[in-house]
Chain A
């Protein structure tokens, strides 16, 4: 095998890895190395095989898998246009003598002719699956109540009731005998099992899933509740936060920034449908469909923060909320409007949702959130 060819192949694989990383496929050097090894192992003659090998090495979830297909296609398109050699004998071995090949050529396995190399590379359109619908400016947010919110979050999460897991750990209350420790102890009594050691169930913490409404009607509370979510995310890994209005966006990672300002800046870049309309039912459906793994049976508390003004069908809201309730331990609905003296939950959405909620509580200020301690 021609050594220059191996070098070119390496180059093109590296180029693709860099391209993929820039377009949002996670992974660092180790992934690129894995990709290189994979490509070498399958041999590079067959474009399809090469794609599969790269995909197996570079992806690690369904979402990445889908993104990869999209990226691979966009990667090949500009280079199809830019490559310039004759198209005769490229099928079996794609080594073309003469000029230097564009990096992606080896990944593609065929050479088109006409165009010039100026348009190479980065002008790829439509590779981002995330559309940026609108941005918001969070820079003027006062941060004075943040400290208290963080204190509160610490207290809340400490309170979050514990569940016993099935994994056993050494314990002192009678339970299944721990023979390993019993044997160790019997040595002290000349081989008689006088002192028995036991194994007990291990307590396990609950997880929290926050589902925050950022639609227009919630504008007055959005920032405050976001700060609440930030405070919770900051200290605990077992919290997931989703924003919704007409679509659903997970923001757990954005909220895990070191400072609130950083988190808000990241958030403002996301198209979370700020101040848009509300389709609670459709959003819950989306959550059920795409993120069901985060709704772990038995140990998840689902907390929805919304005013219940819904433009979708109330039947859908009821159905989806019911599905979620089947999955999780507890459904808590925090409604900022509940703080108003005259408020009655009579909107269509709210009425439909009420039978499927375990706790219905206000969330318009710090005091109301403090009261949450009782429910977790």
Chain B
């Protein structure tokens, strides 16, 4: 239980194993890459990296869940492998598939050759004919641990989740024709979920968990100024305040940070310097993603939401 040995990055031998000194270093690293991370998120990412345990990030759409993995990959200077989940996702498109067309051609070509059947078989089931999908790629990484992003896991079905469990605990994949492949560099795994369905307990148990909430006023202002540095301070504060007020309404799809940035970008390209009722109305589509929501915002009074109820 010698904590010091585990934590001391400067001790010889552990340098390669210790990508981040501590949580604050991670916050700064994320900041350098234009990702405004709070300490809670940084702690979760730090733990995931340090203890090599998957990190499950849940939260509403447009709050930068996917971005976490991208930023982490460039921070670690390693490859990002992304698996987008969808209903009906199966092993063929997630792990590997044989290139059947090529195999058929190879069989035809080799028909006349005097290779033995075993040799032919070994040839058509060699790496040359293997289509590597993201999960297999993450296991096969040769030089450094990649970041594996399993995006919107809640869209895949339970059966796929069960398969993933096995992978996440052993980091090995068995291909019947080739044998078992074990990861030489265990990937950093980040899973994201929009919470459209409850994930299985077994999966959740294996992961660290982080819930990304809507950002506070200061944080959102910081995010906007990081991403839209050319925006005037007055306009920025107008937009952020307005979006924060809109989030208080009972909307079907409250705007995320992505929408705030869209709205800011839209207002800027219209050449406006302040946000007023007229501008909001023409750019409402950036924030309200359904007719009903748009009407709700109008009903609540754009003027009131802007904070000048005269």
Contact = CB atoms under 8 A, between A and B. Distances in A.
Interface string A15-55: 00000000000000011001001101111101011001101
A52 B89 CA distance: 33
A293 B39 contact: no
Contact of B107 (A3, A46, A64, A191): A191
A223 interface: no
Given A191-B107, A293-B196, A52 B209 contact: no
Contacts of B196: 292-293, 296
Interface string A80-104: 0000000000000000000000000
Contacts of A359: none
Interface in B251-275: 252
A57 B208 contact: yes
Interface stretch (B42-50, B71-79, B133-141, B227-235): B42-50
B211 A180 contact: no
Contact of A56 (B100, B104, B209): B209
Contact of B56 (A31, A60, A165): A60
Interface string A290-304: 001110100000000
Interface stretch (B197-205, B216-224, B278-286, B301-309): B197-205
B3 interface: yes
B62 interface: no
B295 interface: no
Given A49-B23, A183-B104, A60 B205 contact: yes
Given A43-B7, A62-B195, A166-B87, A49 B205 contact: no
A57 B205 CA distance: 9
A65 B209 CA distance: 9
B58 A41 contact: no
A217 B293 CA distance: 35
B88 A61 contact: no
Given A49-B23, A62-B58, A65-B211, A1 B2 contact: yes
A350 B98 CA distance: 58
A120 B44 CA distance: 31
Nearest to A57: B208
Nearest to A326: B252
A352 B47 CA distance: 52
Nearest to A50: B43
Nearest to B204: A60
A293 B197 contact: yes
B204 A296 contact: no
Interface string A193-207: 100000000000000
A61 B23 contact: no
B103 interface: yes
A30 B207 CA distance: 11
B132 interface: no
B289 interface: no
A41 B211 contact: no
A49 B39 CA distance: 7
A130 interface: no
A6 interface: yes
A31 B53 CA distance: 13
B112 interface: no
Nearest to A296: B197
Contacts of A296: 196-197
A113 to B, nearest CB: 28
Contacts of A183: 98, 100, 103-104
A193 B104 CA distance: 9
Most buried by B among A41, A42, A180: A41
Contacts of A10: 1
A43 B22 contact: yes
Contacts of A124: none
A258 interface: no
Given A6-B1, A38-B47, A293-B195, A60 B100 contact: no
Nearest to B103: A183
A294 B198 CA distance: 8
A281 B157 CA distance: 31
B100 A52 contact: no
Contact of B1 (A3, A34, A165, A294): A3
Contacts of B208: 34, 38, 56-57
A40 B22 CA distance: 12
B111 interface: yes
B167 interface: no
Contacts of B90: 167-168
Given A34-B208, A60-B205, 4 more contacts: A38-B47, A55-B40, A165-B87, A293-B196
29 contacts: A6-B1, A34-B208, A37-B51, A41-B46, A42-B22, A42-B23, A43-B22, A44-B3, A48-B39, A49-B39, A52-B40, A52-B43, A52-B44, A55-B40, A56-B55, A57-B208, A59-B209, A60-B209, A165-B157, A166-B88, A167-B89, A167-B157, A179-B101, A180-B98, A180-B100, A183-B104, A191-B108, A193-B104, A294-B198
Interface of B: 1-4, 6-7, 22-23, 39-40, 43-44, 46-47, 50-51, 53, 55-56, 58, 87-90, 98, 100-101, 103-104, 107-108, 111, 154, 157, 159, 195-198, 201, 204-205, 207-211, 252
- 10 shortest interchain CB distances as A-B pairs: A166-B88, A179-B100, A52-B43, A60-B204, A56-B44, A56-B208, A167-B88, A1-B4, A41-B50, A52-B40
